[in-house]
Amino acid sequence: MTKPSAVPTYGELLSMATRGRHSGPRSRLPTGALAGLLPEAPPLPNPYPAPSQGDGIYGRADPDQAEEFLRLYYSENPDAGQLEPRLSQVKAMIASVGTYRHTPGELAFGARVAWRNSSRCIGRLYWNSLRVLDRRTARTPELIYHHLVTHLRETTNGGRIRPTISIFAPAAPHQPYTRIWNDQLIRYAGYRRSTGQVIGDPRYVEFTKAVQQLGWLSKGSAFDILPLAIEVPGEQPRLFDLPEDAILEVPLHHPDHRWFIELGLRWHAVPAISNMRLEIGGIHYPFAPFNGWYLGTEIGARNLADADRYNLLPVIAHKLGLDTSSDATLWRDRALVELNVAVLYSFNSAGVKIADHHTESRRFLTHIEREERAGRIVPADWSWIVPPISGGITPVFHRYYDEADLRPNFYLDDDAARIATHGNLAACPHGHGHG
Ligand code: ARG
């Protein structure tokens, strides 16, 4: 794989960054990575598609990227020893077999720095404490599923969520690889009724149909956990339901409104993104699910509020007795705040870790200070960092950020994004696409 010419190297980026935050036209600086532990921003066209073919096949490891990564690893880990012997070993490996194997130390560092470089993530203060589960040798769907269940149990930790990544086998050069269809390990199904009304999460209506075609039996409620669809190349995808004890959910109630609990709302505690490709030193890990904890607004101001998701603002406004006859009464805004109060209050009273946007914004500025003291820039995408409510009363609103696509990083490939909402039946060996 060749480096796309429009993407500056790490060194070029560093020198751009030290020349001042906004030297050069913004649009030339890639924000590239769709990354990290992030609140969802409005859908925008991806201006920097991942530097891969997007057809699910990757070529040989890029030796320049391997070198760039190893230099970074040895410079930040003085105890790791000498760069040169490892560098020549890796270059020889790439020259002969087209790839190389990360040591456990390189793997853990690479994953942590991929988080650190995730410009859409406000929660990066704890990047260096990411728990890394090395699952590179797991091949069968059963074993992969077993490891995913372990991941969820360990990260959930009774509500004291520990940021965790499980790293499965890298893509071998020019070979198809095992993937999971789901974009998160825990998500809710969506069902469209003949009336057009949707029960559950409208985002997953097509995905739900696809797993139903593969034999999944649904309960048809508004919060049915979707099965995992694990696809080994050349085989039918295999479906696995998660065991109840691997899923922590929080029923939502409101500190002042007793009727709120009767809405029957809930959300899952762990946002484990499972369809982003982790790229470290020219090696592609297409299946490396990771999670931190939620920022309340992701649930209260997006998942439950967006008109194309659970769309709850009209219901809540009605219950609050607000005047919905005109936009100018700000009924949506008032309902939105109460919904967000309920999310934070419910998680906190259930002892499940969650962040509010004021605290998390302050932490992010602390992160920037710490990183700058360590001599590093913090690439950040303003439109994702600023929370979807009350932007101007959080400190992250009132400044600009460095924009850079630093590696290692997490990338969302086009095919992975499509499969996450539609499944991949067309690619099934036994003609399911026509079923
Ligand atoms: N916004 C996504 C969701 O609602 C989760 C993205 C990751 N967020 C996080 N806090 N780690 O489910």
| pLDDT tens for each residue of 16-26 | 333 333 333 33
What is the number of domains present in the chain?
1
Domain-located, residue 1: no
Residue whose Cα lies nearest atom 9 of ligand 1: it is: 37
pLDDT digits over 33-75, tens only? Answer: 333 344 444 444 443 344 444 467 999 999 999 999 999 999 9
Domain-located, residue 216: yes
Report whether pLDDT(7) > 70: no
- Examine the residue annotation and report whether 40 is marked as an active-site residue of this protein: no
Share of the chain above pLDDT 90, in %: 85
Task: Tell me the residue range of the domain where 97 lies.
Answer: 10-19+30-399+408-429
Q: What is the DSSP letter of 181?
A: S
pTM, entire model:
0.88
Catalytic residue among 279, 298, 338, 360: 298
Residue whose Cα lies nearest atom 4 of ligand 1: it is: 298
Residue whose Cα lies nearest atom 5 of ligand 1: it is: 271
Question: 257 C-alpha vs ligand 1 centroid, how far in Å?
Answer: 27
Residue 130: predicted pLDDT: 98
Domain-located, residue 144: yes
Nearest CA among 37, 356, 33, 389 for reference residue 184: 37
Question: 116 C-alpha vs ligand 1 centroid, how far in Å?
Answer: 16
Residue whose Cα lies nearest atom 6 of ligand 1: it is: 38
* Angle, alpha carbons 262-264-267 (nearest 5°): 140
Residue 39: predicted pLDDT: 47
The answer to whether the CB of 306 falls within 8 A of the CB of 89 is no
Domain-located, residue 3: no
Report whether pLDDT(161) > 90: yes
- Examine the residue annotation and report whether 293 is marked as an active-site residue of this protein: yes
What's the CATH code of the domain at 160?
3.90.340.10
Provide mean pLDDT across the span 340-354: 99
Domain-located, residue 43: yes
- Examine the residue annotation and report whether 121 is marked as an active-site residue of this protein: yes
Residue 55: predicted pLDDT: 60
Domain-located, residue 81: yes
Terminal CA-to-CA distance of the chain, rounded, Å? 37
Cβ atoms within 10 Å of 425's Cβ, excluding its own: 20
Provide mean pLDDT across the span 123-141: 98
pLDDT band at 430 (very low <50, low <70, confident <90, very high): low
Q: What is d(CA 31, CA 405) in angstroms, rounded to the nearest whole number?
A: 5
Domain-located, residue 2: no
Query: Who's near 112: CB < 8 A, 6+ residues apart?
Result: 127, 128, 130, 132
Provide mean pLDDT across the span 234-254: 97
Residue 426: predicted pLDDT: 84
Q: What is d(CA 23, CA 279) in angstroms, rounded to the nearest whole number?
A: 27
Q: Where are the alpha helices (DSSP H) in 219-330?
A: 296-297, 313-320
Question: 356 C-alpha vs ligand 1 centroid, how far in Å?
Answer: 13
Question: 385 C-alpha vs ligand 1 centroid, how far in Å?
Answer: 12
Domain-located, residue 381: yes
Provide mean pLDDT across the span 344-369: 98
- Examine the residue annotation and report whether 428 is marked as an active-site residue of this protein: no
Q: What is d(CA 411, CA 48) in angstroms, rounded to the nearest whole number?
A: 10
Provide mean pLDDT across the span 302-311: 98
Contact residues of ligand 1, CB 6 A cut-off: 37-40, 123, 271, 273, 291-292, 294-295, 298, 303
Residue 432: predicted pLDDT: 53
Report whether pLDDT(297) > 50: yes
Provide mean pLDDT across the span 2-11: 37
pLDDT digits over 74-88, tens only? Answer: 999 999 999 999 999
Q: Count CA atoms within 13 Å of residue 50 on its CB side.
A: 27
